[in-house]
Structure 1
Amino acid sequence: MRYRNDKNGDAISQLGYGCMRFTKKGTIIDYEKTKGEILHAIDSGINYFDTAYIYPGSEECLGRILEESKNREKVKIATKLPQYLMRSDKQIEKTFKEELSRLRTTYIDYYLMHMFTDFSEWEHLQTLGIEQWIKDKKDSGEIRNIGFSYHGDTDMFLRILNAFDWDFCQIQYNYLDENSQAGKKGLHAAAEKGIPVVIMEPLRGGKLVNLPEKAKEELRKHDKSYTPAELGLKWLWNQPEVTCVLSGMNSIEMLDENIRIASETQVNDFTDGDFELVEKIKTIIKEREKVGCTGCRYCMPCPKGVDIPGNFHYYNLMYMEKKSAARFEFAQNMGLRKEPGFASQCIGCGKCEQHCPQHISIREKLKEADRDLRPLPYKIGIDIARKILVK
């Protein structure tokens, strides 16, 4: 296993274990199977385990495995405060104590504010005294490193990144999402500040493994005969700004393949031919896209707050992946912002079209995107979620 350092110089395995997708028997986590996989991961050198308060049974399962196997001191636990549910400082403390109990530990190595989408969420936590709370927890040693996970646009990511002295952050990033959400710009901005970046959804939840047959043929023709997972993971680890890549592994076979790839891969391994292959795969995946938007953001900012590249990104995903999955991701990453940036906010001024290098009929395409992304049931669902979660 290869390792990369955190802000304090501590070694983190460049392959991290995502604990959201443990195998279940019915509705309950299959403890014995999961235990075997976790112990195999530890024996193979993986030392970073990522869970969260809202992953059903995950914290309890991980804590029990580490306690029974006496491996707590060999690993680093990352878990998360569900900041979107917090209404008081007492609730923050109660939730944290519950997580310590579930994990059967006295400290958390890497603690994240979970799923920021908007700067207003950090401002809300500030009103609850979060900065003093973090200081107290770090002073007591109950939290070793503080960070945040993020789903939103690049500009909002940069605001949050610069708002506090973070020890690390976690973003969704892969070769298909290179210019969406925090994106490469956010990755590089964090690295320039010396903030380690943990990557989630490196293979888009398996979407970059289950490639179209035409894309698989390109992989077979390449001189290195990469597997789909290998290409996606190596693309990430080729970048020095990436500290740790999480994978939701739930079989020994998957573990062994990812461990092999992680052990073989280091910064700047990619060749020009490898980069060309990635571009070919992306082109094949995008053959079904609806809008030829590259995410350059020359159309931004919109005077009415429409997130033009964001809407087009999720509109395209509906036709490159499952419609329901793309709509859910749209609702989660855009619908829960304080200022959501819906296409329906467009007043048709046309300023964006004057700056678009692809000469896209943006106003027309925004109407199409909104119809597909927010049919009536989704509009109702997003409205309800916003009333509950958006502060």
Structure 2
Amino acid sequence: MLYRTIPKTGDKLSILGYGCMRLPEVDGKIDEERATRQLRYAIDHGMNYVDTAWSYHMGESEPFVGRALGDGYREKVRLATKLPSWLVRTRGDMDRFLDAQLTNLQTDHIDYYLIHVLNTTERLAQLEACGLRAFLDEAKKAGKIVNAGFSFHGPADDFAPIVDAYPWEFCQIQYNILDEENQAGTKGLEYAAGKGLGVIIMEPLRGGNLTDPVPPEVGDIWDRAPVERTPAEWGLRWVWNHPEVTVVLSGMNREEDIEENIRTAGEAYPGSLSETELSLIAKATDTYRELMKVGCTGCQYCMPCPAGVDIPLCFELYNNKYMFKNPDAEMFYVVRLSGVLTSGPEQYASQCVQCMECLDKCPQHLDIPALLETIVEEMEGEGFDEKKQMAREMFAE
């Protein structure tokens, strides 16, 4: 495992961090035994940064992490979680959430505490009016948090002012081969690092959309590479190639992915990719941009939908239609969203009632209602009712 240093603190963090937003599940709940085994395996192999949040897994991620870091594992890692900024109305809310998180995580301090989804200067001003600065200063003085930071999914112009607004030790941004000029982007990465902040990277593989399965057009590009690597390794190495990056978070939930990422994190030095390799990655990036219809990462921030639409799954199935040119894509859409596989309710795009709640929640700033309308037109056209009936008959008990 390679390590990089937080400039302001001297902390040496593993370049691979464990993201706890996409833990393995069984029947819609965290598979605690398997997830604990996976997390501890990663720690045993040198990973020392664990990231969770109040909202992950519908509030169950923090309590899980608290239990999983028992038996001495808490002392082996730097633990990060996040204040749910969208739920804060008063200074008392901030203290209440932090104290609850300490209880959830079974610890007396958070090593890296982030203001979650601090996306705009307007939102920063609202939090400052509630006493954000005093909250952070006092929590640090009391030893409840060690380092203060923020996560960002907002417009590029708001990033630098937020960096400059408080003596943060670190920040967390989305960065991958498709997001060089999106959100904070490369300019934001370099700006934050230039100010001495550690930079934690989220969504390095766009929620797994850059890995499995790979569109044939992109697979052909990777097959022409002078060295054999998986798509995940190409994507992670590209992010780690930037010396400004401190830690890359991976939402690992398969044993083979954990092993591969740990191996790669022992080799991925900054500046280690050749010009030939960088050119190959650029070609793959251009091809992805040509194929993808919706830039959704599957982060689930838009969920739950009040009307019952599974928004990320709608986007995933719609993207797959174009990336993989599957003639059965519309039938897959019908089956996956019908509820027959989960004994649950239907979750189709056509259930959208245009309430607009999802618009403010989307870190990618997608026009979700308009995109769902397009999906209805393309995926729920002629014969839709017949396909729904077929799905029910195919999977009837």
- TM-score bracket for this pair, using the shorter chain length: 0.7 to 0.9
Question: In the superposition, relative to structure 1, how do residues 276 and 334 fare at CA in structure 2: closer, same or farther (>3 Å)?
Answer: farther
| Corresponding residue for residue 267 of structure 1 | 270
Q: 8 Å contact 2:359–2:368 — kept in the other structure? A: no
| Corresponding residue for residue 225 of structure 2 | 222
Q: What is the deviation of 1:141? A: 1.4
Alignment of 1:113 onto 2:81: no
| Corresponding residue for residue 345 of structure 2 | none
Q: 8 Å contact 1:117–1:334 — kept in the other structure? A: no
Q: 8 Å contact 2:83–2:98 — kept in the other structure? A: yes
Q: 8 Å contact 1:175–1:235 — kept in the other structure? A: yes
Counterparts of 2:261 and 2:357 in 1: how far apart (Å)? 28
Question: Aligned to 1:189, which of 191, 194, 203?
Answer: 191
Amino acid at match of 1:44: H
Q: What is the deviation of 1:373? A: 3.9
Alignment of 1:280 onto 2:283: yes
Name the stretch that deviates more: 24-33 or 257-266: 24-33
Q: 8 Å contact 1:111–1:147 — kept in the other structure? A: yes
Counterparts of 1:27 and 1:163 in 2: how far apart (Å)? 40
Q: Percent identity?
A: 42
Counterparts of 2:256 and 2:13 in 1: how far apart (Å)? 22
Question: Aligned to 2:174, which of 156, 160, 172?
Answer: 172
Q: Deviations over 1:303-332 (max 9, x none)?
A: xxxxxxxxxxxxx9998668999x9xxx89
Counterparts of 1:217 and 1:21 in 2: how far apart (Å)? 29
Question: In the superposition, relative to structure 1, how do residues 110 and 219 fare at CA in structure 2: closer, same or farther (>3 Å)?
Answer: same
Q: 8 Å contact 2:318–2:375 — kept in the other structure? A: no
Question: Aligned to 1:247, which of 246, 250, 264?
Answer: 250
Q: What is the deviation of 1:27? A: 2.9
Counterparts of 1:249 and 1:289 in 2: how far apart (Å)? 23
Amino acid at match of 1:30: D
| Corresponding residue for residue 59 of structure 1 | 62
| Corresponding residue for residue 148 of structure 2 | 146
Q: 8 Å contact 1:288–1:319 — kept in the other structure? A: no
Specify the SS of the correspondent of 1:246: strand
Q: What is the deviation of 1:19? A: 0.4
Counterparts of 1:248 and 1:370 in 2: how far apart (Å)? 24
Question: Aligned to 2:77, which of 75, 81, 105?
Answer: 75
| Corresponding residue for residue 19 of structure 1 | 20
Q: Deviations over 1:229-278 (max 9, x none)?
A: 01100001110000000000112211000001111110110100011101
Alignment of 1:48 onto 2:49: yes
Ranges in structure 1 where 5+ consecutive residues have no aligned partner? 292-315, 343-368, 379-391
Alignment of 1:232 onto 2:235: yes
Q: What is the deviation of 1:95? A: 0.8
Q: What is the deviation of 1:82? A: 0.3
| Corresponding residue for residue 5 of structure 2 | 5
Q: Deviations over 1:161-211 (max 9, x none)?
A: 111111100011101111101100100000110111100000001111132
Q: 8 Å contact 1:22–1:249 — kept in the other structure? A: yes
Name the stretch that deviates more: 142-151 or 208-217: 208-217
Amino acid at match of 1:171: I
Q: TM-score, normalised by structure 1?
A: 0.76
Specify the SS of the correspondent of 2:179: coil
Q: What is the deviation of 1:60? A: 0.6
Amino acid at match of 2:32: Y
Specify the SS of the correspondent of 2:237: helix
Q: 8 Å contact 2:218–2:284 — kept in the other structure? A: yes
Specify the SS of the correspondent of 1:104: coil
Question: In the superposition, relative to structure 1, how do residues 136 and 203 fare at CA in structure 2: closer, same or farther (>3 Å)?
Answer: same
Counterparts of 2:198 and 2:109 in 1: how far apart (Å)? 20
Q: Deviations over 1:62-102 (max 9, x none)?
A: 111112x2111110110000011111111111111000000
Specify the SS of the correspondent of 1:269: coil
Q: What is the deviation of 1:28? A: 2.2
Amino acid at match of 2:266: S
Counterparts of 2:368 and 2:206 in 1: how far apart (Å)? 23
Q: What is the deviation of 1:283? A: 2.0
Paired positions, count: 321
Q: What is the deviation of 1:221? A: 1.6
Q: 8 Å contact 1:151–1:333 — kept in the other structure? A: no
Amino acid at match of 1:226: R
Q: What is the deviation of 1:151? A: 0.8
Q: 8 Å contact 1:19–1:50 — kept in the other structure? A: yes
Ranges in structure 2 where 5+ consecutive residues have no aligned partner? 295-314, 323-347, 377-397
Counterparts of 2:112 and 2:365 in 1: how far apart (Å)? 32
Question: In the superposition, relative to structure 1, how do residues 371 and 146 fare at CA in structure 2: closer, same or farther (>3 Å)?
Answer: closer
Counterparts of 1:71 and 1:27 in 2: how far apart (Å)? 26
Structure 1 stretches (4+) deviating beyond 2 angstroms?
286-291, 316-325, 331-337, 369-378
Amino acid at match of 1:28: K
Specify the SS of the correspondent of 2:168: coil
| Corresponding residue for residue 101 of structure 1 | 103
Specify the SS of the correspondent of 1:169: strand
Counterparts of 2:317 and 2:187 in 1: how far apart (Å)? 24
Specify the SS of the correspondent of 2:265: helix
Q: 8 Å contact 1:110–1:145 — kept in the other structure? A: yes
